[in-house]
Structure 1
Amino acid sequence: MNRREILKSVGLIVGGTVIGADAFLLNGCTFSEDQLGLLTNDQIKLLEEIAEVILPHTDKSPGAKDAQVGPFIDRIVTDFYNNQEQQVFLEALDKYNEVDFASMKPNERESYLLNEEQNIEEKPIYTFTNKETNESFETRPAYVMIKQLSVWAYLSSEIVAKNNFNYLPIPGRYTGCVEVIEDTKPMYWRQYPGAALRKV
């Protein structure tokens, strides 16, 4: 098995159903000083504002911004989304900037994303046309990508695992029956062997 096949296999193990099929890290790339991956710091902040509407901060649980989901999303989009998916993702961020999502009031943000949800129900497949090459392809709507990655990043963060779940590293002692009371938290488990919580 060659290196490309190995990396694709690893991608499937850690969540190939959510992320892109081709590993972007196979294609050499360089980034400017204000970014670690494909996205700029401003784009990462915008993503966290979007994710905060999906997973808001409450008195009992941290929000998406508390979990710092932006850098996690940036790394996944950079390393595992194929070029076509990256184009769709970046185009969507441009549209969020065009409507000045970051300056919207909370109720306006919620209404805007609810409209996105409704559009996906009506049209679950998005057709993207490259303006330079005039080539078209079909993929998932960018909002689906953002929502999936936001939830994944949120549940993988240390602050969420330790504040919202009873975190018990595996392997550990197995207890078949435990008393459940009103304040009992659900168990948090690692999604795949060798997984580790992200420090935030």
Structure 2
Amino acid sequence: MSSQPMPSESEQAPTITRREAIRRVSLLLGGAALIGCGRVEDVEKAAEKAASVPANTRLGQFSSQEIAFLDEVAETIVPATRTPGAKDAKVGAFMALMVTDCYDPGEQKTFRDGMRRVDAAATKAANVPFMQATPQQRLAVLTAFDRQAHREAYETEAEDRKRQGLAQLPPYDSIEAEEITSDAPVEPATFFRMMKELALLGYFTSEIGCTQALRYTEVPGRYDPCIDYVAGSPAWAAHA
């Protein structure tokens, strides 16, 4: 055996490719992240184009103002903390490109109607449009939609299980710890699942998401059986 010292982790680990990051994040989200788009290649193209889009640029059917709106929606979902947030990663442009290039007309309409509903909900709850609302007001509006989308997904699953003769799920209200606030939307919130999944996919496959929000080490690589955990350290990027 060679007596040469083992290369360090930083010397041995290559940079993760965007294609591999997209594949792993889609697996992390159960495959549901690719709504309207089944090919990793299409997601890869949208992500690369979004990263190089100049400010105040129109993308497909989305104006620069609408892209800024999506940036703020994504930033509310993935805000800047000790690491940059979704807006720094240009997630709004990624969302716009994905909807334009990969969604069918019905999905595009659902998504764009959802943007208007977010704005209307902010106006109703905070008396200002979403873009003029405070971060706390924006979070309250999106949280209401998120809870409703979760309820709809749960109830759809319950109905599917009932039709298939499987064990029944308990009523949603019996497991929900927090009740939806009185000013929550009352119409279906299917669009919000699209928004949330695109925001997460766009962020965690961006350079910022992969290199600053997460840590990545190529496998196989050097074997370190015991690594001390330091409180507050970023999570490791998922491995397939």
1:46 to 2:46 alignment: no
Distance 1:178-1:40 versus aligned 2 partners, 3 A rule: farther
Distance 1:189-1:114 versus aligned 2 partners, 3 A rule: closer
| Matched residues, number | 157
Judge conservation of contact 1:51–1:147 (CA < 8 Å) in 2.
yes
Deviations 1:61-90 (A, max 9, x none): 221112221111122112211111001001
Task: Map 1:85-104 to 2 at 5 A.
Answer: 85-98=107-120, 99=123, 100-104=129-133
- More strand by percentage: 1
Distance 1:101-1:163 versus aligned 2 partners, 3 A rule: same
TM-score after normalising by structure 2: 0.55
Structure 2 match to 1:18 = 33
* CA-CA distance at 1:22 after TM superposition: 6.0
1:161 partner amino acid: C
Cα RMSD between the aligned structures? 3.1
Structure 2 match to 1:165 = 214
Name which of 48, 73, 78 aligns with 2:100: 78
Judge conservation of contact 2:71–2:93 (CA < 8 Å) in 1.
no
Structure 1 match to 2:10 = none
- More helix by percentage: 2
* CA-CA distance at 1:101 after TM superposition: 0.7
TM-score after normalising by structure 1: 0.65
1:106 partner amino acid: P
* CA-CA distance at 1:175 after TM superposition: 2.2
**Larger RCO of the pair (alpha carbons < 8 Å, separation 6+):** 2
Distance 1:122-1:172 versus aligned 2 partners, 3 A rule: closer
Judge conservation of contact 1:161–1:188 (CA < 8 Å) in 2.
yes
Structure 1 match to 2:80 = 57
1:110 to 2:154 alignment: no
Judge conservation of contact 2:37–2:102 (CA < 8 Å) in 1.
yes
Structure 1 stretches of 4+ with a deviation exceeding 6 A read none
Query: % of aligned pairs identical?
Result: 25
Gaps in structure 2 of 5+ consecutive residues: 1-22, 43-55, 124-128, 157-187
Gaps in structure 1 of 5+ consecutive residues: 1-12, 26-32, 127-138, 192-200
Query: What is the alpha-carbon distance in structure 2 between the residues aligned to residue 97 and residue 76 of structure 1?
Result: 21
For the pair shown, the structure with the greater C-alpha radius of gyration is: 2
2:99 partner amino acid: V
Deviations 1:70-129 (A, max 9, x none): 111122112211111001001111233443111112221111112112322343489xxx
Judge conservation of contact 1:161–1:167 (CA < 8 Å) in 2.
yes
